Amino acid sequence: MKKILLLLTLFCTTMTQAQNPFLEKYNTPHGTPPFDKIKIEHYEPAIMEGMKQEMAEIDAIINNREKPTFSNTIVALEKSGELLERVTTVFGNLLSAETNDEMQELAQKLMPLLSEHSNNISLNEKLFERIKTVYNQKASLNLNTEQAKLLDNAYDGFVRSGANLQGEAKDKYRELTAKLSMLTLNYSQNSLKETNAYQLVLTDKSQLSGLPETAIEAAAHTAQEKNVEGWVITLQAPSYGPFMQYADNRELRKELYMAYNTKGTLNNEYNNESIATEIVNTRMAIAQLLGYNSHADYVLQKRMAENSDAVYNLLNQLLDAYTPAAQKEVKEVEKLARETEGNSFELMPWDWSYYSNKLKEKNFNLNDELLRPYFELEKVKEGVFGLATKLYGITFKKNSDIPVYHKDVDAFEVYDKDGKYLAVLYTDFHPREGKRAGAWMTSVKGQWIDEKTGENSRPHVMLVMNFTKPTADKPALLTFDEMDTFLHEFGHGLHGIFANSTYESLSGTSVYWDFVELPSQIMENFANEKEFLHTFAKHYQTGELLPEAYIKRIVDAANFNVGYGCLRQVSFGLLDMAWYTRTTPFEGDVKVYEKEAWKKTQILPVIPETCMSTQFSHIFAGGYSAGYYSYKWAEVLDADAFSLFKEKGIFNTDVAQSFRDNILSKGGTEHPMVLYKRFRGHEPTIDALLIRNGIK
C-alpha cells in the first residue's frame, strides 16, 4: 500500500511539474517567460516550490563543513533562489501591469508567506555567522572591486534586515515586516481600485466644449468600451490630463479635480488614511528596532545624499532659487484668467492646467494638440530606438515569437553594435483597468556572468506606460510630455540593457536610489533638440517634418512654468521627508499634517479635502520612501552630465561610449559618485540645472 501511495505521489508531482511552465525549462526565444502558458493557478505551487528549493540551498551553505569562503558562502548565497526569483518577478510585474481580482487575492495570500520566507533567511543566525566570518577576513581575500562590493552588500544587507537582533527584538522584526508587506499591498490595491471605480459620464456635447477632437474621440471610445452612452472621462492620465487642460466647463473641471485629488480619503472601502499612517509608523518602528532614529536615517545611509541634512539642503536650495519664478508664473496665469473672467476671479487648482495652457498658447503659440499629429507612437518608437542606434550602435528587431502577457505588448530583440544579442525589450504603452497608473521600467530577468563558463546571461527588460490610445479613426498620437516620458523610461531601459556585471544583485538598475534616475533623466534632454526631433517627428497624415518654427517654440517654452513645476517636485520631497524623518508615531489627521509639511511650496489656494498622501504610491507602496528627493538630485546630475553632450555634440559617440562604460554598464559595482566623476571629471553642482532652467 505504501509503495502504491509513493508511486501516486511521484506521479502527481511529475504531472504537476510538467503542467506548470515555471517548473520546467522555458522553451522560448532567449528563455523568456512563456506568458502564453502561464495561468494564475501556476503561481502558488511554483512559489511554494521556489521557497522550498531556496531553503534547501541555504541549508547547504550552512551545513558546508568547509570553512566559510567568498565562494562557498557569498557567491553561493547570491546564486540561491533562482526559481523563486523567476516566479515572483513575473507575478510582481503582472500584479502592476495586468492584474485582476484573482491575482490580487492571491497576492494577499502569498505576501505573508514570502515575507516570512525572506525573514527566515535574513534572520538565520548560522548563515549570518558564515557571512560575518568572510566579511571579517575581507582585507586578506584579494577581492576585485565588484567582489568586494558584493561582500559589503551581503553583510550590510543582513545587518539592515535584523541579523544582529536578538530574542524578542527578532520576533518583533518578523511581525513588523510581515505587517508592512500587507499594508503596502493593500495601499496599492486600494489606489488602483478607486481609480478604476470612477468615471465621469457626459451625455451633452456642450459639456465637451474646449476639448480637442482627439480627447473627444478617446472619451467616446472609452464609453464604447464601458457600454455607456455618450462620453466617459476617467482618472487615468491620458483622459484626466487633457480634460483638465482644455475643458471650458469649470464645474466639471472642479468635479474631476476633486475626484482625482481625494482618492483614498473617501468614506468607502478604498480609504487609505489609516493605512498610510500605519505604513509610516511601521517603517519608523522597524528603523528604530535596528538602531536608527528614523526611517529616513535608515534609508539614507545607503544613498548618495547620506543623511537628511543633505536632502533638506538640496530641497531648500531649490525652494529659494525657484520660488520667485513660481510666484511670478502664477501671477501671469491669474492675470490672463482675470482678463477673461473678471478681476474678482480667484485662480483655483482646477484652473491651473486650463489657464496656464492658454497662456502658453498666447506666449508661444504652442499646445499639445498642435504637436500631437507629429508624435505618432510608431514614429516616436523609431525615433527613440534610433537615438540609441546613433549613440550606441545598438539595433532593435521585433520578434513576434516571444510570448507576451497582453495583445498591446511587443517584444524586441536588442543587438549590440557588433551584432551580438544584447537583451529582450518589452514595450507596453496603453492604459487598461488591470494596469496601475504611471510609467515604469522593470525586468523579468536580470543580467549576470557565469564565473565558470564566462557566459554572459543577458537581461529581459520591460517598459510599461499609460499613453494615449489609438481610436477607430486615428493611430496613437502622443503629447510632447508622453514622448518625453518615453525617453525617460527608455533611459532606465538602457541602464538594464547595457548591464554588464558578474553578479545579478549588482547589475543594471541595482544602484543607489538617488542615482537610478540619472540614466533616465539625461535622455529627456534630447526632447528639445532639433537634430533629434527631425529624425522622426513627422505629421502622421502628410509626412511633413515637425516645422522648425514649432521646434523653436518648444525650445522657447522649455522653461515655461519651470518654477511652478520645480516647487511641485520640492513639495513632494518635503512631504516624503516629513513622513519619514518622524521619530515618534503619527496619530493625527493625515490631511492636516500633509498641508503643514509642504505649506512653503503652496502658491495656489489650498483645498482642505484633498490629499496626496493617500495616493502617493511612490513613497507608500513603492521604493521611494525617504527618497523622492532623488528626482531633483538626479536632475542636478543630468543637467551637468548632458552639458558634456552639448559641448561635444548631442550624438557624439565617444561621450556616449563613456557614459555606457562608466555609468550604464557598471550597475551598482562601485559607489555612484566614483562612477559619475569617472565619466564627467568632477562632482556636479546645482549651477548647470539653474542655467538650463534660466534661473541663473
What mean pLDDT is predicted for residues 504-519? 95
| pLDDT for 1 | 38
- Asked whether the predicted pLDDT for residue 14 surpasses 60, the reply is no
| pLDDT for 686 | 87
Strand 456-457 relative to strand 409-415, pairing: unpaired
CA angle 519, 520, 521 (to 5 degrees): 100
Alpha-carbon 238 to chain mean position: 18
Mean pLDDT of the residues in the chain: 95
The secondary structure of 113-129 as a DSSP string is HHHHHHHHHHT-HHHHH
| pLDDT for 170 | 95
Same topology between domain 20-164 and domain 372-558: no
Superfamily of domain 20-164: Endopeptidase. Chain P; domain 1 (1.20.1050.40)
Which one-letter DSSP state was computed for residue 22?
G
Alpha-carbon 504 to chain mean position: 19
The band of 7, judged by pLDDT with boundaries at 50, 70 and 90, is very low
What mean pLDDT is predicted for residues 85-108? 96
Q: Using one digit for the tens of pLDDT, what is the confidence trace for 379-399?
A: 999 999 999 999 999 999 999
Give the start-to-end residue ranges of the domains of the chain.
20-164, 198-261, 372-558
Maximum CA extent, the chain: 92
Q: Using one digit for the tens of pLDDT, what is the confidence trace for 442-457?
A: 999 999 999 999 999 9
Taking alpha carbons only, the member of 56, 41, 49 closest to residue 91 is: 41
Q: Phi and psi (nearest 5°) for 250?
A: -65, -40
| pLDDT for 17 | 53
- Angle, in degrees to the nearest 10, between helices 308-341 and 349-364: 70
| pLDDT for 216 | 96
Torsion angle in degrees (nearest 10) through CA of 582, 584, 590, 595: -50
Q: Phi and psi (nearest 5°) for 311?
A: -65, -50
The catalytic residues are: 489
| pLDDT for 3 | 40
Q: Using one digit for the tens of pLDDT, what is the confidence trace for 279-308?
A: 999 999 999 999 999 999 999 999 999 999
- Angle, in degrees to the nearest 10, between helices 590-597 and 273-289: 70
The secondary structure of 657-686 as a DSSP string is HHHIIIIITTTTSS-HHHHHHHHHSS---T
| pLDDT for 18 | 55
| pLDDT for 54 | 98
Q: Using one digit for the tens of pLDDT, what is the confidence trace for 323-348?
A: 999 999 999 999 999 999 999 999 99
- Asked whether the predicted pLDDT for residue 12 surpasses 70, the reply is no
CB 134, CB 158: distance < 8 Å: no
**What's the grid cell of residue 109?**
495570500
Helical (H) or strand (E) element with 444: strand 440-445
Q: How far apart are CA 32 and CA 21, in angstroms?
A: 11
Helical (H) or strand (E) element with 133: helix 125-136
Beta bridge partners of 409: 428
The band of 696, judged by pLDDT with boundaries at 50, 70 and 90, is confident
The band of 605, judged by pLDDT with boundaries at 50, 70 and 90, is very high
Q: Using one digit for the tens of pLDDT, what is the confidence trace for 126-178?
A: 999 999 999 999 999 999 999 999 999 999 999 999 999 999 999 999 999 99
Pairwise pLDDT comparison (17 vs 591), residue with the higher score: 591
Question: Could you tell me what percent of the chain has a pLDDT over 70?
Answer: 97
Q: Using one digit for the tens of pLDDT, what is the confidence trace for 171-228?
A: 999 999 999 999 999 999 999 999 999 999 999 999 999 999 999 999 999 999 999 9
| pLDDT for 5 | 37
* CATH number, domain 372-558: 1.10.1370.40
Specify the pTM: 0.91
Alpha-carbon 584 to chain mean position: 29
- Asked whether the predicted pLDDT for residue 242 surpasses 60, the reply is yes
The band of 437, judged by pLDDT with boundaries at 50, 70 and 90, is confident
What mean pLDDT is predicted for residues 541-551? 96
What mean pLDDT is predicted for residues 90-101? 95
Please classify residue 302 by burial: count the beta carbons closer than 10 Å to its beta carbon, then call 0-12 exposed, 13-18 middle and 19+ buried. Answer: middle
Q: How far apart are CA 36 and CA 59, in angstroms?
A: 35
What mean pLDDT is predicted for residues 521-525? 97
Please classify residue 504 by burial: count the beta carbons closer than 10 Å to its beta carbon, then call 0-12 exposed, 13-18 middle and 19+ buried. Answer: buried
The band of 6, judged by pLDDT with boundaries at 50, 70 and 90, is very low
Q: How far apart are CA 486 and CA 429, in angstroms?
A: 9
Hey, how many other C-beta atoms are within 10 angstroms of the C-beta on 103?
17
Tell me the residue type at 109. K
Place of cell 520546467: 24
**What's the grid cell of residue 117?**
520566507
What mean pLDDT is predicted for residues 632-652? 95
